[in-house]
Amino acid sequence: MEFAVIGAGAVGMLMACLLKDAGADVKVVAHSKEQADLINEQGIKKDRAFYMVEAQTGLEGIPEDAILLLAVKYDALEELLAALNVHCSKNPIVFLQNGMMHLDYLKGMPQPNIAAGSVEHGVLKTGANEIRHTGDGVVKFALLRGEERFFLPLLQLRALKSEWHDDADRMLFRKVLLNSIINPLTALMGIKNGELLVNPSAYELLKDLYTELYRAFPEIEDLLPFEEVTALCASTAENTSSMLSDRLEGRKMELDTIVLYTLQRAPAELPLLKAFYHILKSAEV
Q: What is the mean pLDDT of residues 59-68?
A: 93
What gap in Å lies between CA 243 and CA 236, rounded to an integer? Answer: 15
What gap in Å lies between CA 246 and CA 30, rounded to an integer? Answer: 19
What percent of the chain clears pLDDT 70, i.e. is strictly above it?
A: 100
pLDDT of 132 > 90? The answer is yes
**Sign of the dihedral defined by the CA atoms of residues 146, 61, 20, 8, in that order:** negative
Residues 108 and 178 in one domain: no
Q: How confident is the model at residue 153 (pLDDT cuts 50, 70, 90)?
A: very high
Mean pLDDT of the chain: 96
Residues 151 and 280 in one domain: no
Q: What is the mean pLDDT of residues 75-90?
A: 94
Residues 24 and 158 in one domain: yes
Angle, CA of 167, 7 and 73, to the nearest 5°: 60
Q: Into how many domains does the chain fold?
A: 2
What gap in Å lies between CA 43 and CA 54, rounded to an integer? Answer: 8
Residue 255 near residue 180 (C-beta atoms within 8 A): no
Q: What is the pLDDT of residues 214-234, one digit of tens each?
A: 999 999 999 999 999 999 999
Whether the predicted model's global pTM rises above the 0.85 cut: yes
Q: How confident is the model at residue 158 (pLDDT cuts 50, 70, 90)?
A: confident
Residues 231 and 111 in one domain: no
Q: How confident is the model at residue 179 (pLDDT cuts 50, 70, 90)?
A: very high
What gap in Å lies between CA 185 and CA 202, rounded to an integer? Answer: 8
Q: What is the mean pLDDT of residues 94-100?
A: 96
pLDDT score at 270: 98
Distances (CA, A) of 60 to 28, 35, 78, 88: 12, 17, 19, 9
Domain final position from 109, 140, 166 = 166
Q: What is the mean pLDDT of residues 138-148?
A: 97
Q: What is the pLDDT of residues 232-281, one digit of tens each?
A: 999 999 999 999 999 999 999 999 999 999 999 999 999 999 999 999 99
Angle, CA of 21, 27 and 33, to the nearest 5°: 130
What gap in Å lies between CA 49 and CA 247, rounded to an integer? Answer: 28
Q: CATH no. for residue 146?
A: 3.40.50.720
Q: How confident is the model at residue 284 (pLDDT cuts 50, 70, 90)?
A: confident
Rg (CA), the chain: 19
Query: Which residues, in sequence order, are CB contacts of 195 under 8 Å at separation 6+?
Result: 186, 189, 202, 237
Q: How confident is the model at residue 133 (pLDDT cuts 50, 70, 90)?
A: very high
Q: Domain range holding 87? A: 2-166
